[in-house]
Amino acid sequence: METTRATPMQGPLAGLRILDISTVVAGPFAASLLADYGADVTKVEMPKRGDALRALAPHKDGVPLWWKVTNRNKKGVTLDLRMPECRAVLERMVRNNDVLVENFRPGTLDGWGITAKWLHDINPSLTILRMTGFGQSGPYRDRPGFARVFEAMSGFTHICGEQGGTPLHLGYPVSDAIGGLFGALGVMSALYELKQNPGRRGQEIDCSITEAMLRVLEFLPIEYDQLGAVRTRSGNFSQYAAPGNVYQTADGRWASIAASTQSIFVRLCKALGMTEIAGDARYLDNQARVANREVLDREVAAAIARLTIDELRARLDLHEVGFSPINDIADVFADPHLRARQAIVSVPDSELGTVRMQGVVPRFSDTPGSVREAGPALGAHNDQVFESLGFSRTEIDALREKGVI
């Protein structure tokens, strides 16, 4: 695996300064993506207890591992935003940054005196990303929210699970990551507009995680609007192409295969020694195959069950049929393609020494991003950051004694 080192800022966003006062996953994930591309991100946490993400499993020797990835490439400071004394510190930080990322419930920052007007009076060009579950308006705006709530409300969870069975949540809060992706894209779009119109005030970006999940469902809304159709669960069956399922091999492994075009279906039949069914009237095109997918799927499953995963891989590769074994994370680390691509990188960490995590996505030909360091220990950069803002050691010690930092 490639080893990255703590290097000076590099990447297409080198020079961009971001103040991340958000918590848990979605907002910090958005800021982390921008940090991967070279942005200088300062992460703010509550003094003593830190971000709630630190409490979530898994841990090693008391060190939070999830935190290390979601807050990589960031400087870590502590600041109690609820205290009036924080305002003098925050004012200097806001003046020194281009973007503010927050994900408090709407109105929370206003209640602490940190209004958009106050922020823009300090830094008129400041771009403010507001990540929330339901948005800054509407009857649900004040509700508490969690990833599973957003996924259920958007319609995503309704289509996950076995046919006729209970709706299933995924084993990871995917809506937080998707919301973070939209948040990062929103920041870049707002910064581009500001570059085109440098005299304008920085924008506030209202990013609803529920709406981000709804957006990635693509055709489900228009299908309902125009056809009255309500998609539901189909297990591992593809609802759009056949055959498409997860199949078990002779050695107990699982493989995911989809034959979404006619030419791929014909090649799959050749690979599995089933050429006689390629001309079957029930399977002449994808529409016919979807209509008869259950009987077709049984035939494909029976053919695959006679092969080991390596035999199946060899046959499908030979006939150019796309598939993948269902990898666990150990398989991901061992996969020759991902190893060749250095998709997992080794990263220095102040608490654990060296840790391995995902590399930067996507890759830039001329200004590559990098993973410079894992997420910082609580308040690791307090002295460095606050001194850079002009606070003396005496002032910093006084703020620490009051519990402001």
pLDDT for 9: 66
Q: Which residue has the tokens 């056949």?
A: 242
The secondary structure of 85-134, three-state, reads CHHHHHHHHHHCCCEEEECCCCCHHHHCCCCHHHHHHHCCCCEEEEEECC
Task: State the average pLDDT over residues 199-222.
Answer: 97
pLDDT for 2: 45
Q: Which residue has the higher pLDDT, 377 or 145?
A: 377
pLDDT for 10: 85
**d(C-alpha 306, C-alpha 299), whole Å:** 12
C-alpha distances in Å from residue 3, one per residue of 10, 48, 104, 367 = 16, 32, 36, 18
Q: Are 148 and 157 in contact (CB under 8 A)?
A: yes
**d(C-alpha 223, C-alpha 394), whole Å:** 64
Q: Which residue has the tokens 């990447």?
A: 11
Exposed, middle or buried, 91 (CB in 10 Å: 0-12/13-18/19+)?
A: middle
Query: In what side-by-side order are the strands of the sheet with 74-78?
Result: 74-78, 40-45, 17-20, 99-102, 127-132, 204-208
- The SS3 of residue 293 is helix
Query: In what side-by-side order are the strands of the sheet with 2-3?
Result: 2-3, 344-349, 353-358
Phi and psi (nearest 5°) for 377? Answer: -65, 160
**d(C-alpha 173, C-alpha 176), whole Å:** 6
Q: Does the pLDDT of residue 256 top 50, yes or no? A: yes
pLDDT for 5: 44
pLDDT for 240: 85
C-alpha distances in Å from residue 239, one per residue of 122, 168, 260, 292, 304 = 53, 17, 11, 12, 21
Q: Which of 176, 225, 349, 366 is catalytic?
A: 176
- The SS3 of residue 280 is coil
Residues in Cβ contact with 336 at an 8 Å cutoff, skipping those fewer than 6 apart? none
Q: Render pLDDT for 288-324 as a digit per residue (tens, 0 to 9).
A: 999 999 999 999 999 999 999 999 999 999 999 999 9
Residue-wise over 164-180: b if at least 16 C-beta within 10 A, else e?
Answer: eeeeeeeeebbbbbbbb
Q: Residue 239: pLDDT band by 50, 70, 90 thresholds?
A: confident
Report the DSSP pairing between strands 127-132 and 99-102: parallel
Q: What percentage of the chain has pLDDT greater than the value 90?
A: 94
**d(C-alpha 219, C-alpha 159), whole Å:** 13
Q: Render pLDDT for 347-385 as a digit per residue (tens, 0 to 9).
A: 999 999 999 999 999 999 999 999 999 999 999 999 999
The pair of structure tokens assigned to 276 is: 């006689």
pLDDT for 6: 43
Q: Are 19 and 100 in contact (CB under 8 A)?
A: yes
pLDDT for 8: 56
**d(C-alpha 367, C-alpha 39), whole Å:** 12
Known active-site residue 121: no
Q: Which residue has the tokens 């001194």?
A: 387
Q: Does the pLDDT of residue 3 top 90, yes or no? A: no
The pair of structure tokens assigned to 310 is: 């390596």
| Average pLDDT along the chain | 95
pLDDT for 233: 95
Q: Render pLDDT for 5-56 as a digit per residue (tens, 0 to 9).
A: 445 568 999 999 999 999 999 999 999 999 999 999 999 999 999 999 999 9
**d(C-alpha 221, C-alpha 214), whole Å:** 9
Task: State the average pLDDT over residues 174-185.
Answer: 98
pLDDT for 4: 45
Phi and psi (nearest 5°) for 357? Answer: -155, 180
Q: Render pLDDT for 73-126 as a digit per residue (tens, 0 to 9).
A: 999 999 999 999 999 999 999 999 999 999 999 999 999 999 999 999 999 999
Q: Does the pLDDT of residue 1 top 50, yes or no? A: no
**d(C-alpha 145, C-alpha 168), whole Å:** 18
Chain CA centroid to CA 310, Å: 32
Q: Are 102 and 126 in contact (CB under 8 A)?
A: no
The pair of structure tokens assigned to 229 is: 């159709």
DSSP 185: H
